[in-house]
Amino acid sequence: MLDIITETIVDSIKILPFLFLSYLLIEYIEHKSSQKLQKALSTSGKYSKVAGGLLGILPQCGFSAVAANLFSGRLITIGTLISVFLATSDELIPIMISHPEMTKDLVIILLVKLLIAIIAGSIIDGVLNKRKKKESKYDEHEMHEHVHEICKDCDCEHGMIKSTIRHTLSIFFFLLIITFGINLIVEFIGEENFSKIILSGSIFQPFVASIIGLIPNCAASVLLSSLYIEGTLSLGSIIAGLSTGAGVGSIILFKTNKNIKENLKILGLVYIIGAVCGIIIDIVLRVI
């Protein structure tokens, strides 16, 4: 139990700097009303997906938490958020670097995930932008309203820093509780039992790996990476599982974005994209 508590605290503390910076940015936009910054962050251009994908593949899941916060304030698009989620590698890099023989595999996994993230994010935003143009014109106040919703309970009169700290600590303690619960469940089920249900050798393995990837905790990426190194997971399955593994980003999304239906759609898209791409990769490799 002590190990679980320690691991929970350490994992949560790693996210603190990212939470603070994202809320500081949100507070700045709310209080300074910087329209130029709002428009720059919310751009739906192709480079926002590239930037999102590149940030996502960095070790740890801090940037997925930042992206979730920024999306809740409508400072980035759905496509950019999904690009970050799909590209997030969490603990993959540290684990595989400790196995020099897996260097080639690591590069392939990261490049494929980055490509999937950029393409998927661009397509999603392209479709949504066309639909939005048909339905209505862009509301310049829409973004500000979402940012204001996040900041409505902050002590604005006491300054941005105090408000930022309050938001950060609020989410941190929420994250601490959820992470502890997930760690308990993972510890109870055990890695060996996970290995048994992973459908080793089956063409449908990416679907199962994608479900494991949805676990909002670094334990998922650790497990998937370990199973791949052991040879239990296929290349398509590790890519599928890590593509759906946005780490704590999904927890932050549900905490900060009040539109539950929208959150479920986002995770559904992430799951489908990850699982289908994993299946395609495995089929291509079998044919080759």
Q: What residue segments make up the domains of the chain, in order of their start?
A: 2-287
* Angle in degrees, 0-180, between the axes of helices 160-189 and 218-230, rounded to the nearest 10: 40
Question: Hey, how many other C-beta atoms are within 10 angstroms of the C-beta on 229?
Answer: 17
Each residue's pLDDT tens digit in the chain (288 positions)?
Answer: 778 788 778 877 877 887 787 667 766 655 554 455 445 545 545 577 888 788 778 766 667 888 888 888 888 889 999 999 999 887 788 778 878 888 899 999 999 999 999 999 999 988 888 776 554 444 444 555 554 455 555 554 556 788 778 877 877 787 688 778 767 876 776 666 666 666 667 788 999 999 988 988 777 787 788 788 878 889 999 999 999 988 788 888 998 898 999 999 999 999 999 999 999 999 999 888
- Distance, in Å, from the CA atom of 79 to the CA atom of 83, rounded to the nearest integer, reads 6
Question: Tell me: the pLDDT tens digits for 43-99?
Answer: 545 577 888 788 778 766 667 888 888 888 888 889 999 999 999 887 788 778 878
- Distance, in Å, from the CA atom of 182 to the CA atom of 184, rounded to the nearest integer, reads 5
Whole-structure pTM value: 0.73
Nearest alpha carbon to residue 63 among 270, 282, 252, 261: 252
What are 90's strand-pairing partners? 60
Burial tier of 51 (Cβ tally within 10 Å: 0-12, 13-18, 19+) = middle
